Amino acid sequence: MSRRPAAAALLAPGDAVETARVAALIDAVRPELAARTRELNDQLTRTRKLREAADARRQELSQVKKTLDTRIAALDRAEAALRAEGLDIGAEARAARQRTRELAARAVDLQGLTTAIGESEARRPGRRLRSYRPSAAEIAELAYRPPATGRIVRAFGLPNEAGVLERGTRVAARANAVITSPAPGIIAYAGDFRGYGEIVIIEHPRQMLSVLSGLQRTGVAVGQRVERGTPVGRAADDGEVYVELRRAGTPVDPMLYVRRQAGGGTDGRAAASPDQ
Helix (H, G, I), strand (E, B) or coil at 66: helix
**What number is the average pLDDT over the span 242-257?**
92
pLDDT confidence of residue 37: 82
260 touches 134 (CB < 8 A): no
Residue 48 binned pLDDT confidence (cut-offs 50, 70, 90): confident
Which range has the top average pLDDT, 30-44, 130-144, 182-196? 130-144
- How many alpha carbons fall within 13 Å on the CB side of residue 256? 19
3-state helix, strand, coil in the chain (%, to 5): 40, 20, 35
**What number is the average pLDDT over the span 93-119?**
50
Which range has the top average pLDDT, 27-36, 177-186, 190-199, 262-271? 177-186
Mean pLDDT of the chain: 77
**What number is the average pLDDT over the span 169-183?**
94
Question: What string of DSSP letters covers 159-228?
Answer: B-TTSPBPSSEEEE--TT-EEE-SSSEEEEEEEE-TTS-EEEEEEETTTEEEEEEEEEEE---TT-EE-T
pLDDT confidence of residue 218: 92
pLDDT digits (tens, 9 = 90+) for 71-93: 888 877 777 777 776 666 666 66
